[in-house]
Structure 1
Amino acid sequence: MNTTIGPLVPELWADFEDLFGKQGACYGCWCTHFRLSPAARRASNRERNKDYIKARIEAGPPPGLLAFEDGKAVGWMQIGPRADVPEWNNKGRGSAPVDPA
């Protein structure tokens, strides 16, 4: 077994897409739930979520890590600044919001 983990960069989009499958993981969420405001989530759908995360990956910095086992994507972990996830960066949470700048 050969395991590697690295940043999810645009060149790995096809691997990320393959890992998430046709449905986009979690009923088409594409790991955008906490990245979008509630209003944006209500207005979104599977294809918009996919387009959003692809654009986010292309814009950089990498929004997470992709894990590979023998060259096949087998895992994903979303990481990044709190400002990227408005649902975790609001007054209703345990700590004060962080300035997005």
Structure 2
Amino acid sequence: MEPATADRFDDVTTMLAPKKPAAVGCWCLSYRLEPRENQSLGPRERRDRMRALCGEAVSPGVLAYDAGGDVVGWAGVAPRSQLYTFEHSTKIPHVDDVQAWSLWCLKVRAGHRGQGVARALIAGAVDYAIAQGAPVVESYPVDNRGAKVDTTMAFVGTRAMFEAAGFRVVADTSSTLAGHPRVVMRSA
């Protein structure tokens, strides 16, 4: 597991760039930016914004690699205070005054799913956040109760996935994704 730094930007691109270069992909910025700014950025600006984030002292996420050194996963992790959507959400509550970090996005490359990459990403993101001074890491997965989650919405993870990683539910939300309620979970 490695932080997504400027020297690893090609790997960040492998994980986050849309398949069609002219498409406006998320680049893991949608929860980070104020909605007006998020909607105003075109494909090049989104890429450039993520490149700039990778050049900052605190990385915008972590990358997972296979035994051969190929990038196979991404996890977005940052202080909740830097994530506009979560910081200002009326649906996902602030649990307390602790300056929590948020782990909001998990992405595993096709061909590498079902091999423990997501589990490793969660552990790596928590380790990175704690090393940066995070008092606690929280996530907002769906509580799908074993039901299938649409793959386009699976990036938030599931309650069971985070429970297996040692997280516990600390609050319910009024947020849903792909028809499933979301919960606030925190690392133990």
TM-score by length of 1: 0.78
Confirm or deny: 8 A CA contact 2:60 2:78 kept in the other structure: yes
- Specify which of 9, 25, 30 is matched with residue 13 of structure 1: 9
1:29 aligns with 2:32: no
Q: Secondary structure at the match of 1:56?
A: helix
Structure 2 gap segments, 5+ residues each: 100-188
Corresponding pairs, count: 93
Structure with more relative contact order (C-alpha pairs < 8 Å, separation 6 or more): 1
Shift of 1:18: 2.4
Q: Secondary structure at the match of 1:42?
A: helix
Confirm or deny: 8 A CA contact 1:30 1:46 kept in the other structure: no
Confirm or deny: 8 A CA contact 1:8 1:57 kept in the other structure: yes
Residue of structure 2 equivalent to 1:63: 60
Distance between the aligned counterparts of 2:64 and 2:7, measured in 1? Answer: 14
Identical counterparts, % of pairs:
24
TM-score by length of 2: 0.44
- Specify which of 75, 79, 82 is matched with residue 80 of structure 2: 82
Residue of structure 1 equivalent to 2:49: 52
Larger Rg: 2
Higher share in strand = 2
Structure 1 gap segments, 5+ residues each: none
Q: Deviations over 1:54-86 (max 9, x none)?
A: 101112311111001121111000001011111
